[in-house]
A = this chain, B = another copy of it.
Amino acid sequence: MPQISQKGQNMPQSPIRKLVPFAEKAEKMGKSVLYLNIGQPDIRTPEVAIDAIRVMDRKTIEYSHSAGGANYRRSLAEYYRSCGIEVTPEEVMITTGGSEAIVFGFLSCFDPGDEVIIPEPFYANYNGFAKIAGINVVPVTATIDNGFALPPVADFEALINEKTKGIVICNPGNPTGYLYSKEELEQLRDIVKEHDLYLFADEVYREFCYDGAVPYSVMNLEGIEQNVILIDSVSKRYSMCGARIGAFISRNKEILATALKFAQARLSPPTLGQIASEGALKTPQSYFDEVISEYVQRRDILVKGLNEIPGVYCPNPKGAFYCVAKFPVDSTEKFCQWLLEEFEHDGKTVMMAPLAGFYASDNKGLQEARIAYVLEQDALRSAVECLKEALKVYPGRIQQEAGSAEQLA
């Protein structure tokens, strides 16, 4: 029997999906599992998107252009301009989800052995995309103590060497919900400019900013126009994760031409998803107003509820639909598994994503978990109640303040 590749062996499992078998077991035992572990919102897709599919008048579902349909690219460029991001349709390449955009970007910008710096905790699949490209992720650690603000410039500088080729950020952040300020982004700009790095920014949660916060796009940072690659997706914006439509955006013509070669090899992004996504561009503002209002209420219920549980700390996120909480437990890996295997309250339990898998450094985030507020408000109230009761009886509970418990782990 032939061997599996080293690359395949080293490819990480999704930490978000690792607990799935325990959740399935919990369901089989008759428990109702509140799934707060993944970013699949229960929000409805805008009707204009679904209608676009229903009324489509095609006899053949053909390939689109490898860079995406011309009409969709044009309309999408207009959408970006309406967000204050000046791009032409030629600077926008349609991809199969934001995932593919990142892979094409990594392959176009980096060679095996190159290093990219990513503030941790970060979206765990960046690890997988880096493995595909054969590049090394070098983490710079953010802390829950300041809500996961950008680490100090000196921390980045300390990591930069001749192998460093880029920095990757997600803004607003998954898993942190943190929204970088213009000042923080200008700090990044200065580092990128000084060392002539690529700056990848995953801005797929752009629409989800709260409390009057306004997102600032890396596309508007002056002086690094040729260094910036914007990663985008319709998945979260219109709650249509299954469309698998993203975008790769840059003002660097050479990078666009290179990414297009990777795009040509896979022929075309999904045609049906593009039709739905083009329809989605006509989504009325009222849809977003409603959705944002709903997310803010959910966040408030969750964050307030979590902070009221003795020993739990949860900074208030300004964006996306995740929060990270710190629990007074030995290990959230164990705690999350125990919640599914051993615990129930009123027939319910909670599934969260342990945060260790979102750090590239060892032994970080052992008491932290990501909670996606993708379920309705009553479910979130039940989840908080569950967690409160669970912490009363969890055998790995640590008595002292969460703040000082990290060292024990």
> Footprint of B on A, CB under 8 Å?
1-2, 4-9, 11-14, 17, 40-45, 49-50, 53-54, 56, 58-64, 66, 96-97, 99-100, 103, 107-112, 114, 125, 128-129, 132-134, 165-166, 196-198, 226-227, 239-244, 252, 254-255, 258-259, 261-262, 264-273, 276
Task: Name, among A5, A100, A262, the residue most crowded by chain B CB atoms within 10 Å (CB to CB).
Answer: A5
- The answer to whether A61 touches B243 (Cβ under 8 A) is yes
- The answer to whether B1 touches A252 (Cβ under 8 A) is yes
Docked pose: A189 CA to B299 CA in angstroms: 58
- The answer to whether B128 touches A261 (Cβ under 8 A) is yes
- The answer to whether B265 touches A128 (Cβ under 8 A) is yes
Docked pose: A42 CA to B63 CA in angstroms: 11
* Interfacial chain B residues near A254, Cβ < 8 Å: 4
- The answer to whether B227 touches A266 (Cβ under 8 A) is no
- The answer to whether B61 touches A276 (Cβ under 8 A) is yes
- The answer to whether A165 touches B2 (Cβ under 8 A) is yes
* Interfacial chain B residues near A111, Cβ < 8 Å: 5-7
Copies of this chain, count? 2
* Interfacial chain B residues near A241, Cβ < 8 Å: 61-63, 267-268
* Interfacial chain B residues near A66, Cβ < 8 Å: 14, 17
Provide a sorted-by-A list of 16 A–B residue pairs whose CB atoms are within 8 angstroms: A2-B165, A5-B108, A6-B111, A8-B109, A9-B258, A12-B261, A14-B261, A54-B56, A96-B96, A96-B266, A112-B112, A125-B266, A241-B267, A242-B272, A244-B270, A270-B272
| Top 3 A-B pairs, shortest CB-CB distance | A242-B271, A128-B265, A272-B272
* Interfacial chain B residues near A266, Cβ < 8 Å: 96-97, 99-100, 103, 125
- The answer to whether B265 touches A99 (Cβ under 8 A) is yes
User: Given A109-B5, A227-B1, A272-B270: A242 and B96 within 8 A (CB)?
Assistant: no
- The answer to whether A59 touches B45 (Cβ under 8 A) is yes
A193 to chain B, nearest CB (A): 11
For residue A49, which residue of chain B has the nearest CB? B61
Contact of A242 among B4, B240, B268 (CB under 8 A): B268
User: Given A109-B2, A271-B242, A272-B270: A44 and B59 within 8 A (CB)?
Assistant: yes
